[in-house]
């Protein structure tokens, strides 16, 4: 029951994030914000989402996980109401401070660290890898559905209606955690942060991976396909919809594979081939080959996500799980904060394939570092 409530909350929030990520830029422009102010709002939202996980992990150790998850839902509701009804640019810009703007990844924000700690409490032993796969699958599918639903927002009034819906989803997300049992709370008391030593190397590698990801963001890939082969929106839309479906399906496979070969092996042996496909994309002789290589890449590239989440919560004491997720998430988020500058440089050289070589190369270094640095360190449930 607790896990079902957690997945329902995750799905509702991911659906809201899905349409918000598509609508937010155009919506803020319609509300009178300049390009500079829109960029500032999105930057604040990304930074707040990256760092708010640290605060929520600290508060969860004192107030309880259910309370903090409910508060995160409340922040989502406040954000939706602000965007729907605020009329002055300063109030619209401040919406980013909640960390619930929807511009960031669904795995960043004040909820992610606590949710993953709760998931570890409700799924033990061989269940844990599959549970994290289902957690990522739920988020991926509902996020994609939200993005598709955003196509209905053809006017400013309809867009405002979507952000009212966003607020209502926040209310639901605030309510469901309160229905969970006391089993979701940490069974042992202790500080939210403490075991930094096993996380230092991991956090550095995750930052490297996120830095590489900045070069091959979907927007950069879409622009490269347009420049190189003349692809338009009519083709790019279905291609990236297929990408979302492949990524979501891969999450389910990830949990089952991790049970067979281990978490680190799953992370490396799926991620490394995906980056080889990425390096081959610029050599594609036609758009058909380019799309095929990209689909092969995306079918594998996100399988490390649930394995990474399950691994992080399994190498620290239970009371520090939320803090461990928050710490590594903040490092990844800070690395992603360089994304705008990196994407700008990458787009400038997109026709020459530079983003693929830089992104793929950095990610391969990450894969090799992860394998040789952590292959002999298993998660607690793997050792059991």
For the cut 70, the answer to whether the pLDDT of residue 139 exceeds it is: yes
Looking at residue 152, what is its pLDDT?
Answer: 79
Tell me the mean pLDDT in the region 268-293: 94
pLDDT in tens, 223-240: 788 778 887 756 776 787
Residue 190 binned pLDDT confidence (cut-offs 50, 70, 90): low
Amino acid 127: pLDDT: 78
355 versus 9: the higher-pLDDT residue is: 9
Q: What percent of the chain has pLDDT over 70?
A: 86
Instruction: Flag the least confident range among 7-16, 90-99, 124-133, 358-367.
Output: 124-133
The pLDDT of residue 141: 85
pLDDT mean over 85-93: 85
Mean pLDDT across 113-127: 78
Considering only residues 247 and 44, tell me which one the structure prediction assigns the higher pLDDT: 247
Count the Cβ atoms, other than its own, within 10 Å of residue 130: 18
Using one digit for the tens of pLDDT, what is the confidence trace for 237-276?
A: 678 778 878 888 888 888 888 888 888 999 999 999 999 9
Average pLDDT score over the chain: 81
Say if residue 334's pLDDT is above 60: yes
- How high is the pLDDT of residue 354? 80
In percent, how much of the chain has pLDDT > 90? Answer: 22
Per-residue pLDDT tens for 349-363? 555 788 889 889 999
Give me the pLDDT at residue 12, please: 92
Average pLDDT over residues 269-298: 94
Domains along the chain with CATH numbers: 2-184 (1.20.1250.20), 197-383 (1.20.1250.20)
| pLDDT at 55 > cutoff 90 | no
The model's confidence at residue 87, banded by pLDDT at 50, 70 and 90, is confident
The reported pLDDT for the residue numbered 34 is 79
The stretch 18-29 carries a mean pLDDT of: 77
Tell me if the pTM is above 0.75. no
Higher pLDDT pick, 171 / 326: 171
Q: Which residues of 45-70 are buried (b: 16+ CB within 10 A; e: fewer)?
A: bbbbbbbbbbbbbbbbbeebbbbbbb
Q: If you average pLDDT over residues 5-26, what whole number do you get?
A: 84
pLDDT at residue 284 greater than cutoff 60: yes
Given this model, what pLDDT does residue 103 score? 63
């Amino acid at each position: 029951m607790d896990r079902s409530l957690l997945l329902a909350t995750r799905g509702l929030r991911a659906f809201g994030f899905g349409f918000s990520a598509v609508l937010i830029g155009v919506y803020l422009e319609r509300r009178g914000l300049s390009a500079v102010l829109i960029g500032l709002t999105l930057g604040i939202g990304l930074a707040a989402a990256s760092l708010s996980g640290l605060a929520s992990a600290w508060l969860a150790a004192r107030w309880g996980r259910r309370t903090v998850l409910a508060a995160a839902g409340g922040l989502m509701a406040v954000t939706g109401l602000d965007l729907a009804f605020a009329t002055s640019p300063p109030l619209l810009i401040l919406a980013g401070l909640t960390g619930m703007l929807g511009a960031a990844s669904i795995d960043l924000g004040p909820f992610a660290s606590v949710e993953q700690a709760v998931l570890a409490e409700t799924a033990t032993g061989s269940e844990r890898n599959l549970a994290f796969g289902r957690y990522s699958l739920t988020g991926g599918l509902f996020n994609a559905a939200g993005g598709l639903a955003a196509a209905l927002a053809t006017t400013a009034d309809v867009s405002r209606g979507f952000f009212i819906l966003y607020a209502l989803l926040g209310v639901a997300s605030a309510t469901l955690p309160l229905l969970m049992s006391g089993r979701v709370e940490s069974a042992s008391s202790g500080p939210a942060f403490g075991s930094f030593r096993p996380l230092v190397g991991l956090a550095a590698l995750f930052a490297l991976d996120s830095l590489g990801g900045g070069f091959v963001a979907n927007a950069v890939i879409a622009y490269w396909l347009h420049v190189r082969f003349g692809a338009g929106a009519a083709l790019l839309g279905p291609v990236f919809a297929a990408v979302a479906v492949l990524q979501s399906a891969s999450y389910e496979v990830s949990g089952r594979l991790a049970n067979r070969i281990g978490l680190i092996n799953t992370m490396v042996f799926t991620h490394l081939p995906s980056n080889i496909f990425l390096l081959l994309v610029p050599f594609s002789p036609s758009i058909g080959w380019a799309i095929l290589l990209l689909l092969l890449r995306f079918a594998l590239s996100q399988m490390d996500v649930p394995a990474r989440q399950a691994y992080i919560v399994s190498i620290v004491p239970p009371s520090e799980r939320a803090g461990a997720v928050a710490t590594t998430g903040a490092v990844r988020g800070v690395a992603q904060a360089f994304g705008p500058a990196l994407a700008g440089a990458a787009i400038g050289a997109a026709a020459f394939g530079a983003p693929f070589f830089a992104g793929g190369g950095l990610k391969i270094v990450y894969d090799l570092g992860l394998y040789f640095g952590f292959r002999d360190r298993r998660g607690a449930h793997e050792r059991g």
